[in-house]
Amino acid sequence: MNDTRIGLLGLGAYVPEKVMTNAEWSRLVDTSDEWIVARTGIHRRRFAAEDENTADLAVHAARAALDDAGLEPEALDEIIVATDTPEVYSPDTASFVQHRLGARQIPTYDLGGSGCAGFLQAVDVARSRAREADRHILVIGVEVLSRLMNLTDRSTCVLFGDGAGAVIVGPGDHAAEILASVTGTDGSRTDILGIEAGGTRTPFSAENSPDGRMDVTMHGQTVFKQAVRHMSAASLKALERAGLSRDDVDLVVPHQANLRIINAVGKALRVPLEKVFVNVQEYGNTGSASVPLALAQAHEQGRIQDGDVVLLTSFGAGFHWGSVVVRF
């Protein structure tokens, strides 16, 4: 291992144009704008157009991150795509992205099944692989949840949206340095959040997926509590590893699942809410895309200045969690 500074060299994001409002949901399922806003903070979300698939969103975000880094696709040494809604079942979405970007025949792989924690898990892996051999690694978080989720289950459908975010992880004196990362999994909690049908235990059938869509099994309140607990604990551990305290944090960019969860994490970390970035009202829960999308927007909006310490944190089905500390 060498001592080269490894960090984020560029950020990018993409959201589809189509806006789906709470009012539109209330015409399709038994819900209301009041319920959705009060329980989640979500006002609207974006849905991919009929001719847009996962790789399309991923490539848009990847090009934006490459532009931001001032790099050409040929500079990439590896691509990781975190997604639970891949372009096709096999091969991985990252293969499509490699070809569409015009990258070299570099290794690519997907990190799937980790729900919304996938992106930070991928950053954690990319950081050590970049450090090992000065690689430039494109890490993308992307979801087209609208295409696959059950549109009649009001307890889950109103929560999600589509989007993509990307970062380039690599060596460089001007990189936003990754100071520490902490990831973890509690495999005894596979029952609280997941998608049952489609695996070997319960293959798709006419009964469990009449229209080819996925049912999300979710124990909302348990997920809520686990999310707050693990995101705050992992964040404090990551700050400790970085030799920093909560007072050093300039901005927290948490997974955008629910405004109440975001506020509870801010409270548990004892970080003032004005230092917590929120865009869940605009995009809902975009799964693996949530953290890189929020990070790119926070940067674009001038919420992150040179020298700022930014804490990224997420959770997802598994039950997985991750926190990453970055100095811009």
- Active-site annotation, residues: 116, 255, 285
The angle at the Cα of 301, spanning 297 to 302, to the nearest 5 degrees, equals 120
Task: Answer yes or no whether residue 158 interacts with ligand UT7 by CB under 6 A.
Answer: yes
How many residues are recorded in the chain? Answer: 328
* Distance in angstroms (rounded) separating the CA atoms of residues 261 and 225: 8
Strands 193-195 and 176-185: unpaired
Instruction: Return the range that interacts with ligand UT7 (CB under 6 A); candidates 12-20, 33-41, 68-76, 86-94.
Output: 33-41
* Chain CA centroid to CA 111, Å: 12
Which residues in 220-239 contact ligand UT7 (CB under 6 A)?
A: 220-221, 223-224, 227
> Is residue 5 a contact partner of residue 173, using CB atoms and an 8 Å limit?
yes
Shortest distance (Å) from residue 122 CB to ligand UT7: 16
* Distance in angstroms (rounded) separating the CA atoms of residues 229 and 142: 25
Furthest-apart CA pair in the chain: how many Å? 57
> CB count, 10 Å around CB of 297?
19
Tokens of 313: 């944190």
Please write down the HEC assignment for all residues of 192-238. CEEECCCCCCCCCCCCCCCCCCECEEECHHHHHHHHHHHHHHHHHHH
- Residue with the closest Cβ to ligand UT7? 220
Shortest distance (Å) from residue 115 CB to ligand UT7: 5
Instruction: Return the range that interacts with ligand UT7 (CB under 6 A); candidates 34-42, 100-108, 134-142, 272-280.
Output: 34-42
Which residues in 188-207 contact ligand UT7 (CB under 6 A)?
A: 193
Shortest distance (Å) from residue 260 CB to ligand UT7: 7
Instruction: Return the range that interacts with ligand UT7 (CB under 6 A); candidates 7-15, 72-80, 151-159, 171-179.
Output: 151-159
Which residues in 246-275 contact ligand UT7 (CB under 6 A)?
A: 257-258, 261
Shortest distance (Å) from residue 154 CB to ligand UT7: 4
**Identity of the residue, 112 or 220, whose beta carbon is nearer to ligand UT7 in the bound complex:** 220
Shortest distance (Å) from residue 160 CB to ligand UT7: 8
Which of these, 176, 251, 181, lies nearest to 9 by C-alpha position?
176
Interface residues with ligand UT7 (CB under 6 A)? 31, 35, 39-40, 115-116, 154-155, 158, 193, 218, 220-221, 223-224, 227, 257-258, 261, 285, 316
